[in-house]
């Protein structure tokens, strides 16, 4: 009973306990291996996610370019169609004038 009340004895026991807990935590466990493996997997997945995001960005840029080119092509077709309609209307008008001139 005297030894447990001795301050030196209790201090040395607590230091010994700390050493045991420190040395026990320094020993790698299966859980530590799992943590390291999972950290590696998380890093791999983050890298893949970055690559996917980059590819998605490039795909979006290509789609935007394609959309712009398609819109420009449609505008050009509309312009050609309008010119064609104007020419057809002008030719019909000339044909009507020619038929009227023949009748007279």
DSSP the chain: -HHHH-HHHHHHHHHHHHHHHHHHHHS--HHHHHHHHHHHHHHHHHHHHHHHHHHHHHHHHHHHHHHHHHHHHHHHHHHHHHHHHHHHHHHHHHHHHHHHHHH-
pTM above 0.75, yes or no: no
* The pair of three-digit structure tokens given for residue 38, joined into one six-digit string: 């999972």
pLDDT at residue 103, rounded to an integer? 87
Residue 60 domain flag: yes
Residue 80 domain flag: yes
Residue 71 domain flag: yes
Residue 66 domain flag: yes
Residue 69 domain flag: yes
79 is in which domain, residue-wise?
29-103
Q: How many domains does the structure of the chain reveal?
A: 1
Residue 12 domain flag: no
Q: How far is CA 64 from CA 39, 50, 51, 77, in A?
A: 37, 21, 20, 20
Residue 94 domain flag: yes
pLDDT at residue 57, rounded to an integer? 98
Residue 5 domain flag: no
pLDDT at residue 27, rounded to an integer? 62
Q: Is it the case that residue 95 has pLDDT exceeding 70?
A: yes
* The pair of three-digit structure tokens given for residue 37, joined into one six-digit string: 């493996």
**What is the rounded distance in angstroms from the CA atom of residue 104 to the CA atom of residue 99?**
9
Q: pLDDT tens for residues 11-51?
A: 566 655 655 555 555 566 778 889 999 999 999 999 999 99
Q: Is it the case that residue 83 has pLDDT exceeding 60?
A: yes
């Amino acid at each position: 009973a005297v030894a447990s009340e001795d301050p030196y004895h209790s201090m040395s026991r607590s230091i010994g306990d700390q050493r045991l807990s420190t040395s026990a935590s320094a020993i790698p466990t299966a859980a530590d291996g799992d943590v390291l493996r999972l950290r590696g997997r998380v890093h791999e997945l983050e890298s893949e996610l970055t690559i996917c995001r980059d590819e998605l960005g490039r795909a979006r840029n290509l789609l935007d370019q394609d959309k712009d080119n398609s819109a420009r092509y449609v505008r050009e077709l509309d312009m050609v169609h309008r010119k064609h309609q104007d020419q057809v209307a002008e030719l019909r008008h000339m044909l009507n004038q020619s038929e009227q001139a023949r009748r007279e």
